[in-house]
A and B are shown apart, each in its own frame.
Chain A
Amino acid sequence: MQIETTLAGSYPKLPTQPGDANLRVVRNRRDQGKATDQDVAEAILATTRRILAMQERAGVDIPVDGAAAWDDAQTYVARSLGGFQIAGLIRYLDTNTYYRQPEIVGAVSWERPITVEDFRAAQSMSERPVKALLPGPFSLYRFSKDRHYKSPADALRAIGAALAREAQALEKAGARWIHFEEPWIGRVRAEEASLVRAALEPLLAERTARTVIHVPFATPGAVFDAIRDLKWSAIGLDLVESSAAWDILPRVPKERIVALGLIDARNTRLEDPAEVARAVARARSARPDLDFQLSTSASLEYLPADKAELKVSRLVEAARIASRNGG
């Protein structure tokens, strides 16, 4: 059986070849008054095109657009939702990267499409189904400071509803896959399971696109049973950071997909594709009734661009070996 390949989250923006568009340089020039916003927009498109072309060359089945316009994993979406303002820099978990902390200062609402034009542009550059990216509602809430709602459940319902509108707009634009980045549901205790469910249930219920709940950096073991029967298509597991993620496999309902995050997105050490293929075989042997994708453990943006590209090649090679060996 064919093992599909995909990436998780964003991708390094810097070029690996001299002469290619360099978004970092253009943004710096814009900040110095030597380039315009239009120049930055063109550099974002060129970067997106390069990231998609690289995945196409490598043979990635479900590519990502790389989130070239995003400063971090939260604020690109949060700053355009009603009810949010954006505050100071804070560390993004233990990644040694930062995000600006969203603050909820009013009723959260969806006011206009946020990522749809980016998605349309990316999809027009690829024959393959580009996976749209959104923050997961539970994580967006936990990464934010809530100065408005009386209870987390109220806030989570509002964020879930707002993100559902964005997901709907992506679906109307043709998105066949939507990835929800949910690092926090791997970090919460079982007592919060009902909140996680409250955040995800309405968001997932109405989806026509296939949805991925991706949990990087940790294992959603404490809350998985609470979201097990929700209408997600795939669960993305980080099998590099924690071997406990393997314990989720027996609990996944039939006819779902597991995105096996076996390529380490946070370390430059390159994987042996044969070894990764053996891990895929282990998963198939444990759950022959499930479909599997091979994925990165997290966003490849934690790596320099040259190493990220090598990781993508290893990922595709490992999937080919796994597929040859019967999946």
Chain B
Amino acid sequence: MPRGLWTTTVGSFPKPPNLEKARNQRARGEISADALEKLEREETVKLIRRQEEIGLDILVDGELYRGDMTTYFAELMPGFAISNPVRSYGNRYYRKPIAVGPIRRKEPLTVSWWKFAQEQTSKPIKGMLTGPYTMMDWSFNEHYPSREAMAMDLAEAINEEALALQEAGAKFIQIDEPAVSVRPEELSLAVRALGRATEGLKAKTITHICYGDFDVIYPALLDLPVDMIDLEMANSRYDLLDRFHANPFTKEIGYGVLDVHSHRVETKDEVKAGILRGLEVLKPEQMYVDPDCGLKTRTVDEAFAKLRVMVDAVREVREEKGITA
């Protein structure tokens, strides 16, 4: 009996309202850092329980203690300053890192949170990092003479963190590179930088890429030196599958089936249909089913409603196709 169609998520979860409120209070100096962290830990435990309850196979810590996926790391790394808010879309803003000196990793960035999360469950927790190319591309640069110099310094720092996660016991390490999809002419730099970042890793390595021009970067994308590439499929109505017919997808795939930018909860039938379309060109043992991207822009209720549909859909497809986890 074939195995496969494991379920997971891409990384971030929405922060519950009480945590959002506490983060705002902390920003205004109204509560202590310890008080905020206590709440972050309590909510992380609840989040892991909920992931277990709905039956996900591979869990995440949910990144409830992180703001933006680049700024969180930049705030902990010498060489970075943080800008005032910059708009990303509509009324959404983020603070963007600014490279102002040589970037280094002087202390663990995520290891203590990973350990804490893993202590709460017997299921594997993914280690979650942002990749060197994306960190470089999504930062301002007032220090480095070239994009490559900055990316390779970041790769060195992220490799140290990835090795520390592996040392702590992480079996899955995801190094997200969403920026890879938009500058095809720099794909070789992204491959080099991610190669350096994953050097010496025995854990299963994953990278997440989304919202880009896949016509241009596929199949060169398969050169990324990781075991699994996680892709948004639902947002593009599974158009990516057409490319897999012409150029088979040769790695494991994180197969996104939930549109994370829509409030609408998908129906089980449409998620099933998406998975079944994938099985026409992918083997079940290649496929890890998940949302298109991080869920942090949804409400808590929306996120879990969507995930329940996803897990139910996978369960039915497994039964119908005789696939085990």
A-side interface residues toward B, CB under 8 Å? 12-14, 23-24, 27-28, 31, 71-72, 88-91, 93-94, 96-100, 266-269, 301-307
Complex CA distance for A269 and B179, rounded to whole angstroms: 21
* CB-contacts of B184-219 with A (<8 A): 211-212
**Assuming A91-B212, A304-B96, A306-B84, is B89 touching A97 (CB within 8 A)?**
yes
B177 at the interface (CB under 8 A from A): no
CB-defined A-B contacts under 8 Å, sample of 9: A14-B85, A14-B93, A71-B91, A88-B262, A90-B211, A94-B183, A267-B141, A268-B83, A304-B83
**Assuming A91-B181, A268-B142, is B83 touching A97 (CB within 8 A)?**
no
Q: Is the CB of B259 within 8 A of A98?
A: no
B322 at the interface (CB under 8 A from A): no
Smallest CB–CB gap between A68 and chain B, Å?
11
Smallest CB–CB gap between B121 and chain A, Å?
32
Complex CA distance for A93 and B184, rounded to whole angstroms: 11
* CB-contacts of B85-119 with A (<8 A): 85-91, 93, 96, 98
| B88, B98, B182: the one within 8 Å of A93 (CB) | B182
B-side interface residues toward A, CB under 8 Å? 83-91, 93, 96, 98, 137-138, 140-142, 178-179, 181-183, 211-212, 235, 259, 261-262
Smallest CB–CB gap between B232 and chain A, Å?
9
Q: Is the CB of B89 within 8 A of A72?
A: yes
Nearest CB in chain B to that of A264: its residue: B140
| B93, B142, B179, B261: the one within 8 Å of A96 (CB) | B179
Complex CA distance for A166 and B98, rounded to whole angstroms: 39
Give chain B residues whose Cβ lies under 8 Å from the Cβ of A72.
Answer: 89-90
| B91, B98, B235: the one within 8 Å of A28 (CB) | B91
Nearest CB in chain A to that of B212: its residue: A91
| B85, B89, B235: the one within 8 Å of A99 (CB) | B89
Q: Is the CB of B93 within 8 A of A24?
A: yes
Give chain A residues whose Cβ lies under 8 Å from the Cβ of B212.
Answer: 91
Q: Is the CB of A304 within 8 A of B86?
A: yes
Smallest CB–CB gap between B227 and chain A, Å?
25
Smallest CB–CB gap between A219 and chain B, Å?
13
Give chain B residues whose Cβ lies under 8 Å from the Cβ of A306.
Answer: 84
Nearest CB in chain A to that of B92: its residue: A98
Smallest CB–CB gap between A46 and chain B, Å?
16
Smallest CB–CB gap between B70 and chain A, Å?
9
| Ranked 8 nearest A-B pairs via Cβ | A304-B84, A98-B89, A71-B90, A94-B182, A268-B140, A91-B211, A269-B142, A27-B91
Complex CA distance for A302 and B88, rounded to whole angstroms: 8
Smallest CB–CB gap between A253 and chain B, Å?
30
Nearest CB in chain A to that of B234: its residue: A88
Q: Is the CB of B261 within 8 A of A88?
A: yes
Give chain B residues whose Cβ lies under 8 Å from the Cβ of A268.
Answer: 83, 98, 140, 142
Complex CA distance for A301 and B93, rounded to whole angstroms: 11
Give chain B residues whose Cβ lies under 8 Å from the Cβ of A305.
Answer: 84
Nearest CB in chain A to that of B86: its residue: A304
Complex CA distance for A139 and B259, rounded to whole angstroms: 25
Complex CA distance for A93 and B183, rounded to whole angstroms: 8
Q: Is the CB of B140 within 8 A of A269?
A: yes
Smallest CB–CB gap between B15 and chain A, Å?
15
Q: Is the CB of B259 within 8 A of A301?
A: no
**Assuming A89-B261, A304-B96, is B141 touching A71 (CB within 8 A)?**
no
**Assuming A88-B259, A305-B84, is B91 touching A267 (CB within 8 A)?**
no
Q: Is the CB of B183 within 8 A of A267?
A: no
Smallest CB–CB gap between B242 and chain A, Å?
14
Give chain A residues whose Cβ lies under 8 Å from the Cβ of B90.
Answer: 71-72
Complex CA distance for A24 and B96, rounded to whole angstroms: 17
Q: A12-B87, A23-B91, A99-B89 are in contact. List 7 more A-B contacts (CB 8 A).
A: A71-B89, A88-B261, A90-B235, A94-B179, A94-B183, A268-B142, A303-B83
**Assuming A96-B138, A268-B83, is B179 touching A89 (CB within 8 A)?**
no
Complex CA distance for A90 and B261, rounded to whole angstroms: 10
Complex CA distance for A99 and B140, rounded to whole angstroms: 21
Give chain A residues whose Cβ lies under 8 Å from the Cβ of B138.
Answer: 96
Complex CA distance for A98 and B293, rounded to whole angstroms: 14
Complex CA distance for A88 and B263, rounded to whole angstroms: 11
Nearest CB in chain B to that of A266: its residue: B140
